[in-house]
A and B are shown apart, each in its own frame.
Chain A
Amino acid sequence: MPDNLAPWLAIAGLGAFHGINPAMGWLFAVALGLNRRSRGIVWSSLVPIALGHAMSVLAVVELFLIFGGFVSARQLEVAGGLMLIGWAAYHVCYGHRSRVRVGMTTGFAGLCLWSFLLATSHGAGLMLIPFVSSICFPEPFAPDLDRSNSWASGLRVISVHTGAMLLVTATTAALVYEVVGLAFIRRAWLNLDLLWAICLAGAGILLFL
């Protein structure tokens, strides 16, 4: 068990937050199952959805870690903070406007791509940066930090995050497909866009401070 539990809880919590969001996967899995009248499709769709999400988060976190090997902790924090605030601004202005590339006839590769693009534009990986930063580059900042160690930590971050996301996505998809029915999204689909933009900007500002 890591010494510092808080960032790990946050990393898992963010995964669960994505998992429960209808826009990030479970609803697509349910829709494909309903359209193709197949329970199996609901379950098999979860694999590319989780994979796409993991690849997006992996790319961002590893880029951050590579970058982190070359600059000071302060520079890293400022860069991460700017990215987060920029992403929040993009979300507020253009979040509603997206080129749709993947439709209802899609397969494994299409779902994987969809999930990758969605997680990337959502800023799922960026949002992990403050926590990755505290896990991989603990204070006081050590310039001779073992890079392989931090990369392994990065992989652990992605596993925990995506695992939590997949668990919640699968549970929600199964509940909606098997028990609750689709009508409930008419009321239960809460608008978390603004909250998410605030989280992104807030995390960015925290990195700055």
Chain B
Amino acid sequence: MVTLTPDPSFYPSPRMAQKAPPEQLAYVASFDPERQKPDALAVVDVDPKSPTYSQIVGQTEMPNLGDELHHFGWNACSSCLCPNAPHPHTERRYLVVPGLRSSRLYILDTKGSERQPKLVKAIEPEEIAEKADYSRIHTIHCGPEGIYANALADAEGNAPGGIMLLDHETFEVRGQWEIDRGPQQLAYDFWWHLGHDTMITSEWGLPETFENGLVPEVLLGSGYGRHLHFWDLHTRKHQQTIDFGKEHQLVFELRPAHDPTKAYGFVGCVISLKDLSSSIWTWYRDGDKWAVKKTIEIPAEPADPDQLPPVLQGFKAVAPLVTDIDLSMDDRFLYVSCWGTGDMIQYEVSDPMAPKETGRVRIGGIVNRATHPKAGKLSLNGGPQMVEISRDGRRVYFTNSLYGAVDPQFYPDGIDGWMVKLDVGENGGIAFDESFFIEWPDGRRPHQVRLQGGDCSSDSYCYP
């Protein structure tokens, strides 16, 4: 897998990556919530000129049951061009696909098999437990020291969760990333500022508090994650914790600015115990420390308790449940998935301290059940969830399932999977592509989307 010149999908800077050609295929993790058939990686045709546009054109089934495929990533990406640790001649070729429930890692080769990725290696949970003492693999990122994978728990299912490193050529598990984790115990997402040598990690909870669904007592007792952790990316030592306070629970997806000179980013907090609102916080550099500020608050919407699942009935309101966010390559637009209310909201964030709403669409939702022009039915369930943006920022894709055990707590009548696409106006504004609606087949549910050649949450950059 070594080439003479750098992989053409690597770009030194996010400015150059924006000029990349449009993606033709999307890879979508899909899992069987019943754990009766294997999970699969689906391949979706996203080329509008193709006769099979907006269809699943390939699928690779995993060899096991009950993996719950989650936030997968590439073996290599634009950070391979970084000057301090270059790997420019590694190919972006393999998808590294984690099973959140099984703690297994699959390596899928897309070269020459773009529409039917070939399974070339499975890393079993025993190997991960032995070499890194972790389990419940959640998110994958390609980075300066190879492949980074984070885990929500240790090998026994307890704290601490954390990050491990994999060799980006042999896929050998190299061990825990952390050298000094300080007070960090919980894990959810991680990403970094390559220009500021900083790793950031967020928090969910331990497996016993999510593998059978969220536990209301833990939530109301503020027992889920509510901290951000900042680390030195190269000494791998913990530097700072920021506590969002008892009111705020589930600090999830991290979206640092792509421009390596900018020292800020956005993180979503799923729920406020005070009023069920969701919030977006901006982290930023304040002197020689990091600081956060709540810059967006999305209120809960009053609702008839009869239309609400048991977990929300007492509150007589539907929580927005911001479970994923994504930042465009030019750091100009932030997309916010409100899985509860069914909104996908676009904010202009050129001033990261003062986001302005510039677009909104509604689909699904606990109460609204809004439909799509191509859906052919009056109501849809599930809501905007994992969201991915094309490198040029003109197309946005998203799916509607959160997590097998949590889906029925908010959508008790089940979730029928779908994937949709938005077109983005040159200066903001979003609208459904009326010809793009995929009803997910075989009872599986779609989760994370990755775009061929890279997207806005796959690559990081060392040059502005």
Contacts and interface: CB of A to CB of B under 8 A. Distances in A.
Contact of A191 (B2, B83, B169, B261): B2
Instruction: Sort chain B's interface into a size bin.
Output: 35 or more
A181 B232 CA distance: 30
B309 interface: no
A46 B388 CA distance: 40
Interface stretch (B46-54, B84-92, B218-226, B311-319): B84-92
B87 A104 contact: no
Interface stretch (A23-31, A78-86, A135-143): A23-31
Contact of B83 (A28, A98, A183, A188): A28
Contacts of B10: 186
Contact of A105 (B12, B88, B145, B196): B196
B12 A183 contact: yes
B194 interface: yes
A23 B13 CA distance: 17
B441 interface: no
A28 B81 CA distance: 10
A37 B169 CA distance: 34
A97 B169 CA distance: 9
A40 interface: no
B12 A191 contact: no
A96 B235 CA distance: 19
A48 to B, nearest CB: 13
Contacts of A27: 83, 86
B4 interface: yes
A103 B234 CA distance: 7
A55 B16 CA distance: 37
A87 interface: no
Interface string A184-208: 0111111101100000000000000
Contacts of A98: 85, 145
Contact of B5 (A104, A189, A194): A189
Interface string B242-266: 0000000000000000001100000
A96 B169 CA distance: 8
A31 B463 contact: yes
A100 B234 contact: yes
B3 interface: yes
Given A31-B463, A189-B6, A191-B4, A104 B194 contact: yes
Interface in B229-243: 233-235
A107 B11 CA distance: 25
B464 interface: yes
Nearest to B9: A186
Contacts of B195: 35, 104-105
B84 A100 contact: yes
Given A27-B83, A35-B463, A186-B12, A96 B5 contact: no
Contacts of B234: 100-103
B146 A97 contact: yes
Interface in A37-63: 37
Nearest to A194: B2
Given A34-B464, A185-B6, A187-B5, A100 B88 contact: no
Grouping DSSP codes into helix (H, G, I), strand (E, B) and loop, the B interface class, with mixed when no group exceeds half, is loop
Nearest to B192: A103
A114 interface: yes
Given A28-B83, A31-B462, A105-B196, A182 B13 contact: yes
B4 A114 contact: no
Interface in B167-202: 167-169, 194-197
A101 B197 CA distance: 10
B216 interface: no
B373 interface: no
Contacts of A34: 463-464
A34 B260 CA distance: 10
A186 B11 contact: yes
A100 B16 contact: no
A205 to B, nearest CB: 23
A35 B464 contact: yes
A186 B78 CA distance: 10
Given A35-B463, A99-B145, A100-B145, A22 B86 contact: yes
A186 B3 CA distance: 12
Contacts of A188: 5
B145 A186 contact: no
A185 B84 contact: no
B463 A96 contact: no
Nearest to A103: B197
Nearest to A29: B83
A191 B169 CA distance: 16
B8 interface: yes
A25 B16 CA distance: 22
Contact of A189 (B84, B88, B235, B261): B88
B144 interface: yes
B463 A182 contact: yes
B84 A97 contact: no
A105 B6 CA distance: 25
A27 B260 CA distance: 16
A88 B385 CA distance: 49
Contact of A193 (B85, B89, B197, B261): B89
21 contacts: A27-B83, A31-B83, A96-B87, A97-B169, A101-B235, A103-B84, A103-B233, A104-B82, A104-B194, A105-B197, A106-B84, A114-B84, A182-B12, A182-B463, A185-B12, A186-B10, A187-B5, A187-B6, A191-B2, A191-B4, A191-B88
Given A34-B463, A104-B462, A183-B12, 19 more contacts: A31-B83, A31-B463, A96-B169, A97-B146, A99-B145, A100-B84, A103-B84, A103-B197, A103-B233, A104-B260, A105-B197, A185-B6, A185-B81, A186-B6, A186-B8, A189-B88, A190-B5, A191-B5, A193-B89
Interface of B: 2-6, 8, 10-13, 16, 81-90, 144-146, 167-169, 194-197, 233-235, 260-261, 462-464
Interface of A: 22-23, 27-28, 30-31, 34-35, 37, 96-106, 114, 182-183, 185-191, 193-194
Return the 3 tightest CB-CB contacts between A and B, nearest first.
A103-B197, A28-B83, A27-B83
